Chains A and B, each alone.
Chain A
Amino acid sequence: GAVVSQHPSRVICKSGTSVKIECRSLDFQATTMFWYRQFPKQSLMLMATSNEGSKATYEQGVEKDKFLINHASLTLSTLTVTSAHPEDSSFYICSARGGKDYGYTFGSGTRLTVV
């Protein structure tokens, strides 16, 4: 079945530094990848949609200069949180769409803590 690998699973960084999160589709080509943010005990909030080789489409209210998304290949998308601050601490989840049934497969998430 379709598998999406997301790394790292947990990261702690200092305020002002940048953090990169990777999302890879292991056994299928992902035509579209999505990045979500989830606050404790809340639902998933879509941050942006990215298609391979083109610029990401950000949802309203999401700072594109803070959350840099690169979708350089059909199997890899990265989210870089630039100049991170404590309020960026959250659970980030990626999702990839593709595969034989064109379904949506989610990564296992990244817990980001900014100190």
Chain B
Amino acid sequence: AQSVTQPDIHITVSEGASLELRCNYSYGATPYLFWYVQSPGQGLQLLLKYFSGDTLVQGIKGFEAEFKRSQSSFNLRKPSVHWSDAAEYFCAVGFTGGGNKLTFGTGTQLKVEL
């Protein structure tokens, strides 16, 4: 069965420090991949997505992610974290022929220390 793993439930970083949130997936087909951010009591905002092409994807708010097929990973990075980045981050995966459905990881709660 397909699955998405975000191994880090909580991450705390200092403001200005770099950030990497991990996402691994288990799919038989070529996936399309997303990172979303959710503030408390809110819906999900798309940070970036990968469908095909360049495996390094740039997103909003200074985020980027790199698709590594050999590692089945799509890690999210940001070189310098701002206090406003504190939120819940979800990785999601779908694949062609999967009925358009996305499978979400369990999320990573990011805390930013000032």
Binding site for B on A (CB under 8 A): 4, 6, 32, 34, 41-44, 46, 49, 57, 91, 93, 95, 97, 103-109, 111
Contact = CB atoms under 8 A, between A and B. Distances in A.
A32 B100 contact: yes
What are the 7 closest A-B residue pairs judged by CB atoms, nearest first?
A108-B43, A106-B44, A106-B43, A109-B43, A43-B106, A43-B104, A44-B104
Interface string B49-67: 1000000000000000000
A109 to B, nearest CB: 5
Nearest to B4: A43
A111 to B, nearest CB: 7
Contacts of B43: 4, 6, 93, 106-109
Contacts of B70: none
B46 A49 contact: no
Contacts of B101: 34, 46, 49
A81 to B, nearest CB: 18
